Chain A
Amino acid sequence: MIRARRNAHVYMMTGLAGILPIVFLAGLLYRPAPTLDSAADGQSAAVDAPITSQASFVSRSTVVVNGIDVQVATAETTSGLVLLLTPTQALPFSDLLVYWSPGESPPTDVSADAFLLGQLSGSRRHQLPGVTEMQTESGYLLFYSRDQAMAIAAVPLSQSRFP
């Protein structure tokens, strides 16, 4: 390098040596606490609870939602019966919610008697509560985009999935 660039290099690195440690320390020391308060938000905590090693699977199958495979399982855990949904890849819809809707025919919208089970973002495994009604009545899992205000798919959920 020519001398002017060598000097510029030293000035730039001296500047970085002064700024970066400050950014690093400030970033760590003042980072905000996690916003999810599990104790205060019991529903979120239940929905996002990790699968315990005591989980006992009752049924497993794969359904297709908008061309993407979603593994559906029911399991008994220490906190009760749960529904486990695992998309093989992210479903390309905004604010995707999962409802259980009672009835013999597939719903095309969120009805007044539908139960909101939780959200289904990304491709990780989601643990949703197994509400009592879905264990005793015929119904459908309704995949609904809240942001786009549209029903994506409805798949039947047989009572045989539950003990």
Chain B
Amino acid sequence: MEEKARAKIDLNRVPMPRQDPKVRRRNFNEVALGYTDEMALREASRCIQCPKRPCVAGCPVNVDIPDFIKAIRDGNMPEAVRILKSKNSLPGICGRVCPQETQCEAVCSLGKKGAPIAIGRLERYVADWERKQNPGFAKAVDLPPPTGKRVAVIGSGPAGLTCAADLAKMGHSVTIFEALHVAGGVLMYGIPEFRLPKEIVQAEIEYVKSLGVEIQLDSVMGKLATVDELLSSGYDAVFLGTGAGLPMFLNIPGENFNGIYSANEFLTRVNLMKAYLFPEYDTPVKIGKKVAVIGGGNVAMDAARCALRLGAEEVYIVYRRSRAEMPARREEVENAEEEGVIFKFLTNPKRFIGNEQGWVTAMECYEMELGEPDASGRRRPIVKEGSEFIMEVDIVIVALGTTPNPLIPSTTTGLEARKNGTVVADETTGKTTKERVWAGGDVVTGAATVISAMGAGKRAAASIDAYLRGA
């Protein structure tokens, strides 16, 4: 019996069609092309609809995964959309950038025997299907009668958008204040077009707006108005979803030479300001012949792959630990490697060397070795004495991570922040030390993932709703 049951299950997932690496390394079009109807049906049919449903608990926003997969299998796409969007307002984004391999897919029952269901790819398929059906984005949910309560959400990244959408669905009036000239936060300025097309981000933001959420752009809170002023001018509650926007540098000699960028600056120029279309767009970015990206996270991969697409001849990832310790998603590392990014592990810059005009020309690096595990659980990199060598470069992109912007904590009375800039907030509710103020996402945790920020936005929305209803 058991043999027979097993034989029926396909243990191999349907592969995702992608642009050929040789072609895509020189264009900004999306790398992953998405499932066809036939592929989606085949992948959805692999789901055994196990009674334990571990994937639902593995999802930070608890999407009813087996149910939407069943709807795909049944050919009932509107139902798949309804199930997905009842928990997740940004499925086209999550289907593309969530680290499913460490979340829902990591706990999939099929994973014990073979490959887990490609949940992310199916999620993307459902979101893309809906966008094709309703280019104008019809409302997917009926809104309850207005409660008359007003909430200000600061920041329109994943945390803010999710919190705002959920609050709107609960009948509250929500205004999002965004500092930049477009909404989306890191989804717009950070993640590149070839991984997350901006059209998809804007379509999902249009959906959030269709729920009645108002978005005020060009509004730097803390400068244009303080949190205290929002609370005294008619807002009943404030949610801080301001992210982690400040770049970290190495703090080594020569770091201010021309040609050395923070990953934030490089990616903002390329993604938000569309420097890859210069001079059609006015914002320039330096392309470089030999580019070194310092760091081993997803942002480093994004920066390296952008540099390649801009036309750099050689692009290096310079990382002080080894491949095993890299925080980047494996899929992104593989994509980068396929495209020709060269990895230099166990290497760390000591100083930058420049020419008389102030341009970086090289960096002196140390070779590193791995010692005992450190606080992060990864083996600590140690400098090999006397191992210095020179690496010629003309562009350097520093991708060491980011910390929260101190603007809000420094202008808000009674809001406690830690030394690293993160705002103190309750893990389950998002409540901060200040009355009527909630926070969630990178501003609380430090730089993390899109979906964990969305989870925090969702939990905060529930807590804000309970407060507004006097519970």
A pairs with B? no
A residues with a Cβ closer than 8 A to B are none
B residues with a Cβ closer than 8 A to A are none
